[in-house]
Amino acid sequence: MGISYLKNNQKVKHKHIIQKKMKLNIALLAGDGIGPEVINQAVKVCDAVAKKFNHEISWTSAITGACAIDAVGEPYPDATHEICMAADAILFGAIGDPKYDNDPKAPVRPEQGLLLMRKKLGLFANVRPTFTFPSLIDKSPLKRERIEGTDLIILRELTGGIYFGERGRKDNGNTAFDTCTYTREEIVRLAKLGFEMAMKRSGKLCCVDKANVLESSRLWRETVQSMEKDYPEVTVSYEFVDAVAMRLVQWPSSYDVMITENLFGDILTDEASVISGSMGLMPSASIGLHTSLFEPIHGSYPQAAGKDIANPLATVLSAAMMFEDAFGLKEEAELIRAVVNKSLAEGIVTEDLAGDNKAYKTSEVGDWLAKNI
């Protein structure tokens, strides 16, 4: 995979050099809500990059989420899974629809498709970078002096924990339970990624748990402690999740690479996303056993669907992660990031970032980015 996610200004060390002029086979899962609109802009940018560097991209579209339920009755159909398995990487939009959100008794939900996709593709690690943009630092709800220099990665375990444990109802439906279960193997797999990333960055790793209360967290801490001897150049700290939730908004720049279990990671990554000033800016990757998936961290934002107002930059930056980490194409990734920074600096942005200045349409931002590649 050759994941780098280096700190700013560090040089890249790829484990292997991948030849230029590549044929890239990418599955395209636009999903629901604003998903198709933001995905379309990322495709424009990717195609412009491919043309510039003489790559050939083969896009294969597939349905997932609410649109898949409406079409075939299930949120992650077998046909979609086959397309994903055959792809070198997956570029994904968003999942979710209010008609399911507002019905607690709905037998099938779009989000089940996401969980099924993670399980079937073996997507065990969600990689969430959080960083600030110089031109937008004052748009953050946090004070400049608290967030300046923030450049961290949260590695969230994706296929274990309470989301996949035994669950049910008893006492005639009046008592509900969800079980948080982890195996040592699942923890080792994620922690190994965390140690490797820390070695490529500042050599700091933080394991986030609740080991003072939860048995599953004690297994996390015990397992990570047993791995420390294999990575002597990495300094490991252990913090309780409630303390981290406070420190993330007080002093986010003190963190570098963080590893944590599924539920804690779900919450902390959303908390961290506000640091940059907009959820519409943050990309993510899900690293898998069979393939890897790249997606913006925002949801389907159904209120904006079809209005051409959604911010496509997180999806475009997710495509940059895809070029670098699925294909080892660092130069192409850096070019995408540079043109995104240019659009922010020049005010070619959607309404969420425009303030009192002109707001550009989603499609206009995509066209501008592709033209400036």
Residues 270, 147, single domain; the answer is yes
Report phi then psi at 343, rounded to 5: -65, -40
Residues 182, 250, single domain; the answer is yes
182 in catalytic set: no
Catalytic residue of the set 47, 270, 308, 367: 270
- Inside any domain, residue 205: yes
Residues 38, 113, single domain; the answer is yes
CA 357 to chain centre: 29
- Inside any domain, residue 6: no
The total number of structural domains in the chain stands at 2
How do beta strands 89-94 and 293-296 pair?
parallel
pLDDT (tens digit, 9 = 90+) per residue, 240-276? 999 999 999 999 999 999 999 999 999 999 899 889 8
Residues 167, 52, single domain; the answer is no
266 in catalytic set: yes
Mean pLDDT of 326-331: 94
Catalytic residue of the set 52, 78, 242, 358: 242
308 in catalytic set: no
Residues 253, 296, single domain; the answer is no
pLDDT (tens digit, 9 = 90+) per residue, 12-67? 443 344 456 899 999 999 999 999 999 999 999 999 999 999 999 999 999 999 99
- Inside any domain, residue 1: no
Among 276, 304, 338, the domain-final residue is 276
356 in catalytic set: no
Among 276, 310, 337, the domain-final residue is 276
Residues 100, 165, single domain; the answer is no
Residues 105, 145, single domain; the answer is no
Q: How far apart are CA 311 and CA 338, in angstroms?
A: 17
Residues 188, 66, single domain; the answer is no
Structural domain including 62 reads: 11-132+278-373
242 in catalytic set: yes
Q: Which residues contact 297 (CB under 8 A, 6 or more apart)?
A: 128, 269, 270, 273, 279, 282, 283, 284, 314
Catalytic residue of the set 47, 70, 101, 266: 266
Residues 104, 190, single domain; the answer is no
pLDDT (tens digit, 9 = 90+) per residue, 224-244? 999 999 999 999 999 999 999
CATH classification of the domain holding 246 = 3.40.718.10
Catalytic residue of the set 5, 76, 100, 163: 163
Residue 10 in 3-state DSSP?
Answer: coil
Burial category of 168 from C-beta neighbours within 10 Å (exposed 0-12, middle 13-18, buried 19 and up): exposed
Is residue 66 within 8 A of residue 100, CB to CB? The reply is yes
Whole-model pTM? Answer: 0.86
- Inside any domain, residue 2: no
Q: For residue 207, what are its two tokens?
A: 């394991």
Residues 237, 327, single domain; the answer is no
Nearest one of 139, 117, 32, 94 to 298, comparing CA atoms: 94
Catalytic residue of the set 32, 100, 210, 255: 210
